[in-house]
Amino acid sequence: MKYLLQIFILFIISTSNFYCQQITPLTEIHDFGNNPGNLKLFIYGSLTKDTSKLSLVVVLHGCGQNARDASVLTGWNKLADINHFIVVYPQQKIFNNANLCFNWFNTHDIEKGEGECESIYQMISFVKQHYAIDSNNIFITGLSAGAAMSVVMAATHPELFKSGAIFAGGAYKIATNPIAGTKAMLGKKYIPKEILVENIKEQNPNYKGQYPSLIVYQGLKDPVVNYQSATSLINQWTGINKSDTIPDKTETAFMGIEDISRSEYTDSLGRTSVIFYEINNLGHRLMVRPGEKENEGGRTGIFGVDKGFHSSYQTAKEFGLIKNN
């Protein structure tokens, strides 16, 4: 059982084409500062004649992918062009993880100021120094291992992010080693809500501010990340934001799509702490909607499926990035 994750990911890698049909114009930054996690940095976007500051979206790829794969799969570059924001793509190295997964389950990579967590923080700091970034509009998102690492960043640097979008991820420190990580993904590891919340608080014991809101996407037929992962994540994030544990609002057949349900969890002041997209008939894949319109994009394949719903567009809309919204 402890090798289940590795075997499945190796199968994915061996049968995929890595989205090589199109190379997206990403710029690699070789020297962005301290890099204890030994990651690579790629950036998409440029400054415009507009003097206003730009929003920033950090996109973390899944296992068996790289930065360019993630940009083609998700369609974030197209959204950045239309709505004028910057996208940062951290990239894993095979030296760190043979399956190219971000190490969301290794203690030395998920503690504040250490490993991959610190490398990603340094990337964001670099971009803030060299681009006109609006510090109040920084967002993070990822798929699978990238989703779990996105949670790590939101938990360790809550002051940095306004919101995050988690596609088939899990709670912060639901696992601190590979074996526990496999159990957590299969829904066989339970941690009480109080401990999940305390795990976050320990990273910033003196922090009194608001934690980022999260948008959680979870497929009900995901063979890699069990539904329980989403449950633990929602429990953790409603707990840290002191919000209701029962949805305050639920919309079934969201946007007329029978398989998608959208729920909101809010705190006593009416602020949204979690938005949950529960998707029936969805495995371990990203929902895309290929096409030329603004609300269309992404690439189908082993990591992407067309369900008539461009999840990156909807996420950007939830983030408040769509200018024509």
Phi, psi of 139 (to 5 degrees): -130, 160
Q: Which residues of 36-58 are buried (b: 16+ CB within 10 A; e: fewer)?
A: ebebbbbbbbeeeeeeeebbbbb
At 154 the three-state DSSP class reads helix
**What are the DSSP E strand ranges found in 144-240?**
163-167, 213-219
Distance CA(216)–CA(233), nearest Å, equals: 8
Q: Which residues of 250-277 are buried (b: 16+ CB within 10 A; e: fewer)?
A: eeeebeeeebbbbbbbbbeeeebbbbbb
Whether 158 contacts 204, CB under 8 Å: yes
Distance CA(89)–CA(40), nearest Å, equals: 8
Distance CA(135)–CA(227), nearest Å, equals: 33
Cα torsion 246, 197, 102, 37 to 10°: value is: 150
Which helix (H) or strand (E) segment holds residue 44: the answer is: strand 40-44
Known catalytic residue at 14: no
Closest CA to 97 of 89, 105, 88: 105
CB-neighbour burial class of residue 125 (10 A; exposed 0-12, middle 13-18, buried 19+): middle
- Out of 55, 71, 119, 144, which one is annotated catalytic? 144
Whether 142 contacts 167, CB under 8 Å: yes
Catalytic site positions: 144
